[in-house]
Amino acid sequence: MFGSRSPSRFSLTLVGAAIALGSLAASADVAARELKVSTVLSDAFPWGQAAQKWADLVEERSDGELTLRVFPNSQLVSGDQTREFSAMRSGLIDLAVGSTINWSPQVPELNLFSLPFLMPDESAVDAITEGEAGELVFQAIESRGVVPLAWGENGFRQLSNSQGVIDEPADLEGLKIRVVGSPLFQDTFSALGANPTQMSWADAKPALTTGAVDGQENPLSVFDVARIDQVGQEHVTLWNYMNDPLIFAANQQVWSTLSDDEKALLRETAVEAGAWEIAMTREQESERLAAIQERGVTVTDLNEEQHEAFVAATEGVYEKWVPRIGEDLVEAARSAIDAR
> CATH code at 110?
3.40.190.170
User: How does residue 32 score in pLDDT terms, banded at 50, 70 and 90?
Assistant: confident
Q: Which domain holds residue 319?
A: 33-339
pLDDT at 31: 52
Q: Considering the domain boundaries, does residue 16 fall inside one?
A: no
Share of the chain above pLDDT 90, in %: 86
Name the band, by pLDDT with cuts 50, 70 and 90, for residue 20. Answer: very low
Confidence band of 82 (pLDDT split at 50, 70, 90): confident
Out of 49-53, 137-141, 199-203, 330-334, least confident range: 199-203
- Domain-located, residue 188: yes
In a domain, 143, yes or no: yes
pLDDT tens-digit readout, 38-53 = 999 999 999 999 999 9
Domains contained in the chain, number: 1
Would the pLDDT of 15 be above 60?
Answer: no
What's the mean pLDDT in 335-340? 96
Residue type at 35 in one-letter notation: L
Q: Examine residue 28 and state whether it is found in any structural domain, yes or no.
A: no
25 within some domain = no
Biggest CA–CA distance in the chain, Å, is 106
Q: Does residue 21 lie within any of the structural domains?
A: no
The answer to whether position 9 is within a domain reads no
State if pTM tops 0.85: yes
Which pLDDT band, with edges at 50, 70 and 90, does 3 fall under?
very low
Mean pLDDT of the chain: 91
Report yes or no on 258 lying in a domain: yes
Is residue 55 scored above 90 in pLDDT? yes
Residue 152 pairs with which residues in a beta bridge?
246
pLDDT score recorded for residue 80 = 87
pLDDT digits (tens, 9 = 90+) for 164-217: 999 999 999 999 999 987 899 999 999 999 999 999 888 898 999 999 999 999
